[in-house]
Each structure stands twice: as C-alpha cells, then as structure tokens.
C-alpha cells in the first residue's frame, strides 16, 4: 500500500496547476482514505495523511522544499522502494502526474462524494478547537443566541463594543464575528454599517431570528414598584407601545445592551428598576419575569444578523447566494438610477438599499452651496460567480468613484423560531 503525507503551510496556492491534489473539503478526503490518527498540527502547519491511494510493493521517498517569502514549505511523499529527492517545482509536478495516474485508477470504483451544501463553502478554523464567535454584549444577549443558531456548539466570545468584535477577528482572538444589521421594527443598525466599511472583514453568511422581549425585575418586585426601565435603545423602541399599555409610569433609559442591563440591576440590587431582556438573561442573573412577549410587533419581531470572517467564502453558481456591495460617486440627476439599472436590466433582485453620510468627506461643494455626500450599501440576490453579476459590477464601476465588495455568501434558509 502507498501512503502519501503532505506537510505544508498553505501550499495550495502554489500548486493550483496540480488539479488532482486540490483537496477542497474533508468530505472528499474521507473518500480517499482520510485517517484522523495521521493528522498532526503545529502552530502554523497541518499534516494530512491520505492512505490507500494505490497498491505498490516498493517504497520511494520524495522530498520537495519549496521556499516562500518567509518560510520553507515541506512536502513529503512516502512509498515503498528506494529514495529520490525533488529539488524543483517541475520535478514535483512531474511526480504528481505519475502518482495521479495511480490515484485515478485506484479510486475509479468509489462513489462520488455527497453534494456540497452552502455551509461547506465557509472556511472553518484549523486549530482543532471549537469555532470561536465574537459578539457584542454579555452572556444572555440576543446576539449570543444568534451565534448559537448560526454556529451550533461554537464558543461565544463576549465583547464590550462593536469595534472590539471586529478587532477580535482581525487579531485572531476569534474565528467569526456576528452582529445585528437591521430589525423589522427598529430598522437599520447604522453603526454596524459604518464599521463594515472601516474594517476589512468579509460577510460570509446571514441569519434571521425572532426576538421576544421580557420585562424583568429582581425577585419579589412588582410592576407597580418600578420607577424606570432600562435596556438597549433598540429594545426600548421595540417595546414602546406595550410598556405604555401596561400602565407603567416609568422613565425609560438606554443601556449598552439588554443582558448587560439585567446584569447591572442584579449586581446593584436596584429594586426600583425594570429591564427589557431575554428569558435566558433572567435565568443567568436571577431575575423574575414580570411580562413576556412585550414587543410591539406580535406578528414577528425579526432581527437580521451577518457573520464576518477574515477570508471570504467561495461563490458558486448553484444554490442561493446574496451579494453585498458599497459604493459612492458624483451625485447627479441619474447617478443612482444608472447603478440600479445595471442590476435591474440583468434581472438581479435588489433586497436592500441603505445610504450613509460619507465619513471621509460628508459635504461636497456644488454651484449653489454645500451638499451631503453619501455612501450606498446594496444587497442583491445573486452570486459573484455568475457572469451577469460580474458584468453588472463592471458597469457600476464606470459610474462610481468608489466600489467595494463586502461579501458574496450563501442564503441559508433560517427557521424564525427563537
């Protein structure tokens, strides 16, 4: 039997011509004899073993040292017979061609691997631990629940600011970030749209989740004892009419986040203060639920979250994809019409259009005075792998002074039950 061992630091981009040795998913590796016991991982390298590629009584040891800018990449192949050394990329590619014939012959009778799903296209970490997902807030926050829905069994990492959420991924403290971008009642979370432009992370997915608010207080406190209610501004706005209908004569004060407000009231033993937060926050911080489902929109208070990563997903032509872009340009009577027409004429459905003041130069001099300059965020349902999308963006680029792709990611159907 032949065993092939690859020990490398991201050598795949250097061997894109070697199609047969592109191992794209663990599912395919399983079909050619993936063995977890042969996997060894150091801080920067992963060693993967593929056994039973072909049958041969001989052993040949092939070693290729391919230099990179800062380190050497070692690729080692073991067979049974004498030993050879490869010193050039050409020799390595020639050896690949020889081995490929044996590999194709030996696996020809194997069934095809199962079809990939959109989530298979999302690059996962290789450190062997749980996926680490950064979110804004403390345990019990709605975003923590969204992280659990998006990535079951992940390790949530709480952050005290949205800026820190981005930095956690950029500095490799976390593998993903998740943040809310809009709510069906409260509208757009503008702060996060501004941060998407400031940082260089990629949108790799989205999830929608129903949010159900509760009125919480310390054990033994009744609604009549409350003089104020604190929570995140979005939660306060989503429960404004319900709080009034409950007959509460209370002031409403903004807090950093919903679960953080519950933690604060519990820690300070504030018996005159109520909190709008989740059932999980009540359980974590020992508070009583005075009223459940106090959101104004009883038909469905839905929040949309996006997931971010350091690397983009691989766009595909099959399956449902969404693409997000941001652009700016010289304002004119037909500027926005031209941009949207480039999508409409190609039957590309726009799902969101959002404008934000241009942070770099919010005001622009025109003949009759100063006017605001804007950045436009657009979501549309299509994949960057499609020719029509590539042509549309090429046309849009002609009309704009700035154009950036935020992400092209799978639209995974989401159950809105919380």
Contact between residue 158 and residue 164 where contact means Cβ atoms under 8 Å apart:
no
From 303, 323, 400, 414, the catalytic residue: 303
Q: d(Cα 101, Cα 2) in Å, to the nearest integer? A: 13
The Cα 189–Cα 404 span in angstroms is: 20
Q: Is 303 a catalytic residue?
A: yes
Burial of 267 (0-12, 13-18, 19+ CB in 10 A): exposed
Please provide the size of the chain in residues. Answer: 418
Q: Which residues contact 70 (CB under 8 A, 6 or more apart)?
A: none
Closest CA to 388 of 335, 326, 351, 343: 343
The closest alpha carbon to 153, from 129, 170, 119, 181, belongs to: 129
Closest CA to 331 of 363, 373, 369, 361: 373
Single out the catalytic residue among 305, 321, 327, 380: 305
Q: Name residue 355's beta-bridge partners.
A: 376
Active-site residues, by number, are: 303, 305
């Amino acid at each position: 039997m032949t065993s092939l061992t690859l020990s490398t630091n991201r050598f795949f981009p250097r061997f894109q011509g070697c199609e047969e040795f592109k191992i794209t998913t663990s599912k395919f590796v399983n079909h050619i004899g993936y063995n977890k016991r042969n996997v060894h991982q150091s801080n920067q390298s992963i060693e993967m073993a593929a056994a039973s590629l072909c049958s041969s009584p001989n052993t040949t040891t092939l070693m290729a040292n391919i230099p990179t800018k800062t380190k050497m990449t070692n690729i080692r192949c073991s067979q049974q017979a004498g030993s050879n050394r490869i010193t050039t990329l050409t020799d390595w590619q020639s050896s690949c061609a020889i081995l490929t014939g044996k590999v194709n012959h030996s696996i020809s009778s194997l069934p095809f691997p199962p079809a990939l799903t959109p989530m298979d296209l999302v690059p996962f970490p290789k450190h062997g631990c749980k996926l680490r997902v950064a979110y804004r807030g403390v345990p019990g926050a709605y975003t923590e629940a969204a992280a659990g829905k998006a990535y079951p069994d992940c390790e949530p990492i709480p952050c005290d600011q949205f800026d820190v959420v981005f930095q956690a991924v950029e500095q490799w403290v976390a593998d993903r970030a998740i943040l809310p971008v809009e709510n069906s009642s409260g509208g757009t979370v503008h702060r996060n749209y501004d941060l998407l432009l400031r940082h260089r992370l990629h949108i790799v997915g989205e999830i929608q989740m129903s949010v159900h608010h509760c009125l919480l207080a310390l054990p033994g406190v009744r609604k009549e004892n409350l003089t104020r209610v604190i929570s995140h501004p979005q939660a306060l706005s989503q429960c404004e009419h319900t709080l009034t209908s409950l007959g509460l004569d209370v002031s409403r004060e903004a807090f950093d986040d919903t679960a953080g407000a519950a933690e604060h009231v519990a820690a300070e033993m504030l018996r005159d203060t109520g909190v709008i937060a989740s059932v999980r926050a009540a359980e974590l911080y020992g508070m009583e639920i005075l009223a459940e489902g106090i959101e104004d929109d009883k038909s469905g208070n839905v929040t949309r979250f996006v997931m971010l990563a350091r690397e983009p997903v691989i766009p595909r032509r099959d399956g449902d994809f969404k693409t997000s872009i941001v652009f700016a340009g010289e304002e004119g009577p037909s500027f926005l019409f031209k941009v949207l027409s480039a999508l409409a004429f190609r039957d590309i459905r726009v799902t969101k259009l959002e404008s934000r003041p241009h942070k770099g130069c919010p005001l622009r001099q025109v003949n009759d005075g100063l006017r605001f300059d804007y950045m436009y965020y657009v979501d549309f349902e299509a994949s960057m792998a499609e020719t029509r999308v590539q042509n549309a963006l090429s046309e849009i680029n002609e009309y704009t002074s700035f154009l950036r792709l935020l992400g092209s990611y799978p639209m995974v159907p989401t159950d809105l039950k919380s």
